[in-house]
C-alpha cells in the first residue's frame, strides 16, 4: 500500500518563482524515507504541500489514502506532523496540553486520558508531563513534540528536521523511538534532515531534491555504491556539501 503517491506535484509562488517542479514521490506503508536537499531546494515547500499547509499549483497527490486536493481534512485526520520549530508550551504543564490536543481529535475526556498515558509511556516521558516546557531539556521537548503528533494514532508521520539542535545522545535516543514506531506499530515515517549520519542510520530510502526536482533516490547503500559517502553524492549532484548547511 502506498501512503504517499504524488504525480507532477508543483508549486509556483507569486512572481513566478518555481519552488517545486513536478515531483513524483512514492512511499510505501512501513517505510522510513528521508527527504534531503540543500537549502532552497524545495523540500520544505514539498513537505508543506503534503501536510496540507500549502496548496499545490499543479499535480496530484494521495496521502494516507486521501486525495490531497479533494479531501485535505481527510489527510489531516490520518497524518501526524512534527514541525522543526516544535509546539511545546514553555509556560504550561504538558499533561493539560496533551489532554486538550487529544480531545480536539474528538476523543472523550476518558479516552483522551488513556491516549495521553499511552504516548507518555511509549516515549519514556511518564512523570515529566506535569512539568512546564521551560523545565524540560531539548531532547525531552522534542519527545513531547513527537507525543503531540502521535495522539490520534496516525499511520503516517511527517518529521521536519526532528533532531536539529540536539546533542548526539539525545539524537540517538530519538532515532530509537522513531524505529520503534515502525517496528511496533507499523508506522510510516517521512522526514527531512540535514544530518547525513541520521539519513544513513535511520532511513530505508532517501529522496534527494535540488532545484525543485527529485534528482536522485535509493537506499543509503545504493547511493553510496562505489565507496562514496553521502556527502560525495550531494557534492556530485548539487555542487554543494550538505555538511556546510547543518543548522547550528
DSSP helix, strand, coil percent of the chain (3-state; round to 5)? 40, 25, 35
- Contact between 228 and 200 (Cβ < 8 Å): no
Q: Which helix (H) or strand (E) holds 208?
A: strand 205-210
- Domain 2-86+153-245 class, CATH top level: alpha beta
pTM: 0.93
- How far apart CA 120 and CA 129 sit, in angstroms, is 8
Can you give the pLDDT at residue 166? Answer: 86
Q: What is the predicted pLDDT for the residue at 70?
A: 97
List the domain boundaries for the chain: 2-86+153-245
d(CA 41, CA 74): 28
Question: How does pLDDT run along the chain (248 residues), one tens digit per residue?
Answer: 899 999 999 999 999 999 999 999 999 999 999 999 888 889 999 999 999 999 999 999 999 999 999 999 999 999 999 998 888 999 999 999 999 999 999 999 999 999 999 999 999 999 999 999 999 999 999 999 999 999 999 999 999 999 988 888 888 999 999 999 999 989 999 999 988 889 999 999 999 999 999 999 999 999 988 778 888 887 887 777 766 665 55
The residue written with cell numbers 520549530 in the block is: 85
pLDDT for res 137: 92
What is the reported pLDDT for 36? 92
Question: 190 near 75, Cβ under 8 Å?
Answer: no
Amino acid at each position: 500500500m502506498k501512503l504517499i503517491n504524488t504525480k507532477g506535484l508543483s508549486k509556483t509562488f507569486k512572481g513566478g518563482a518555481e519552488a517545486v517542479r513536478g515531483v513524483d514521490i512514492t512511499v510505501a506503508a512501513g517505510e522510513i524515507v528521508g527527504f534531503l536537499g540543500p537549502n532552497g531546494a524545495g523540500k520544505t515547500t514539498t513537505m508543506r504541500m503534503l501536510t496540507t499547509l500549502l496548496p499545490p499549483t499543479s499535480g496530484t497527490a494521495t496521502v494516507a489514502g486521501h486525495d490531497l486536493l479533494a479531501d485535505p481534512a481527510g489527510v489531516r485526520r490520518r497524518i501526524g506532523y512534527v514541525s522543526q520549530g516544535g509546539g511545546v508550551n514553555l509556560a504550561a504543564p504538558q499533561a493539560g496540553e496533551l489532554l486538550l490536543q487529544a480531545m480536539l481529535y474528538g476523543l472523550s475526556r476518558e479516552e483522551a486520558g488513556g491516549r495521553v498515558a499511552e504516548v507518555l509511556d511509549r516515549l519514556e516521558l511518564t512523570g515529566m508531563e506535569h512539568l512546564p516546557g521551560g523545565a524540560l531539556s531539548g531532547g525531552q521537548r522534542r519527545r513531547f513534540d513527537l507525543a503531540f503528533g502521535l495522539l490520534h494514532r496516525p499511520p503516517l508521520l511527517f518529521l521536519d528536521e526532528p533532531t536539529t539542535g540536539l546533542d548526539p545522545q539525545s539524537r540517538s535516543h530519538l532515532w530509537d523511538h522513531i524505529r520503534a514506531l515502525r517496528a511496533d506499530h507499523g508506522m510510516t515515517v517521512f522526514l527531512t534532515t540535514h544530518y547525513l549520519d541520521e539519513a544513513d542510520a535511520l532511513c530505508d530510502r532517501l529522496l534527494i531534491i535540488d532545484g525543485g526536482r527529485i534528482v536522485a533516490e535509493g537506499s543509503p547503500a545504493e547511493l553510496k555504491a562505489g565507496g562514496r559517502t553521502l556527502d560525495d553524492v550531494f557534492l556530485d549532484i548539487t555542487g554543494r556539501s550538505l555538511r556546510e548547511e547543518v543548522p547550528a
